Amino acid sequence: MENRQQIAAGNWKMNKTFEEGIALVKEIIEKSNNERTLVILAVPFTHLNGIADLVAPIPNIKLAAQNCHEKESGAFTGEISANMLLSVGADYVILGHSERREHFKESNEVLAKKVEHAISKGLIPIFCCGESLRIRKAKIHVDFVSNQLNEGLFHLNPEAFSKVIIAYEPIWAIGTGETATPEQAQNMHKEIRALIEKKYGHDLAQNIPILYGGSVKPDSAKDLFHQPDVDGGLVGGASLNADDFVAILNSF
């Protein structure tokens, strides 16, 4: 993994009440003593402010939101802006998760706007990409992910792009218990890095963290994280349990 930052990100999705969330973060803080890994907790919007106070004294634990709007403010009932997220302690935002793409019909076009807006405000996007089982079986997964990157990310200028974290999350591995093999993950991460290199050059390609997501568990994390182009994980289910999540972040 070159000299890139190791990252363990937890995506809580729509889980945990506020009290449960506070208890989970306290347990993670208590049980983890790994200061080399950047830990990013993508918690529900409603929890950010309260959890920000808890993690403030811990330099390597940061907060993310799971979505944000592409406009600065205005008549968008129910939406949350990048500025709002920054004001309650989020430094990162997941954009383009496959569940947002599928259930909320987020297109590459809208994601391109969200990414650009988030970066312009100083919020770091964790941009998700990844193919369905149908696409993988048809052996067009590299083209599919390449298109997601072209349309959703590669409009950024190099300076803006240098802020981005990418998460490769094959849809067939999310929440299914079926993890991509370390080789499958490495192959796709290598392809993604090659696409970045083609667009932005070698140095930038070497600096962008690419996380793997999809049923990362304590017993699969180590082999995945030891692949040369896998810089960490975006962890769903296993991030809801402190022991599992701490075991994963100790897997580097």
The catalytic site residues sit at 97, 169
Alpha-carbon gap, residue 54 to 9, rounded angstroms: 17
Quick one: which segment of 132-140, 196-204, 219-227, 229-237 binds ligand PGA (CB under 6 A)?
229-237
User: According to CB under 6 A, which one of 214, 227, 246, 251 is a site residue for ligand PGA?
Assistant: 214
Binding string to ligand PGA for residues 156 to 185, with x set by CB under 6 A, is what?
Answer: -------------x----xx----------
**Residue holding tokens 């019909």?**
105
User: According to CB under 6 A, which one of 237, 246, 248, 251 is a site residue for ligand PGA?
Assistant: 237
Q: Which is nearer to ligand PGA, 81 or 218 (CB)?
A: 218
Q: Please list every residue from 89 through 128 that binds ligand PGA, using CB under 6 A.
A: none
Task: Determine if 215 is a binding residue for ligand PGA (CB under 6 A).
Answer: yes
Using DSSP's 3-state secondary structure scheme, residue 39 falls into strand
Alpha-carbon gap, residue 26 to 65, rounded angstroms: 19
Helices vs strands, H then E, count in the chain: 12, 8
Quick one: which segment of 16-24, 56-64, 199-207, 214-222 binds ligand PGA (CB under 6 A)?
214-222
Residue type, 101: R
Q: What angle, rounded to 10 degrees, do the helices at 48-55 and 18-31 form?
A: 20
Measuring CA to CA, which residue among 198, 224, 95 is closest to residue 152? 95
Q: How far is the CB of 167 from ligand PGA (least distance, A)?
A: 7
Q: Which is nearer to ligand PGA, 169 or 229 (CB)?
A: 169
Binding string to ligand PGA for residues 123 to 162, with x set by CB under 6 A, is what?
Answer: ----------------------------------------
Task: Determine if 213 is a binding residue for ligand PGA (CB under 6 A).
Answer: yes
Q: Which is nearer to ligand PGA, 43 or 205 (CB)?
A: 43
Alpha-carbon gap, residue 81 to 70, rounded angstroms: 7
Backbone angles phi, psi at 191, to 5 degrees: -60, -45
DSSP single-letter state for residue 226 = T
User: According to CB under 6 A, which one of 234, 242, 248, 249 is a site residue for ligand PGA?
Assistant: 234
Q: How far is the CB of 231 from ligand PGA (least distance, A)?
A: 15
Alpha-carbon gap, residue 214 to 177, rounded angstroms: 8
Using DSSP's 3-state secondary structure scheme, residue 10 falls into strand
CB atoms < 10 A from the CB of 251, how many? 23
Q: Which is nearer to ligand PGA, 11 or 146 (CB)?
A: 11
Longest dimension (CA), the chain: 48
Q: How far is the CB of 73 from ligand PGA (least distance, A)?
A: 28
Residue type, 152: G
Residues that bind ligand PGA (CB under 6 A): 11, 169, 174-175, 213-216, 234-238
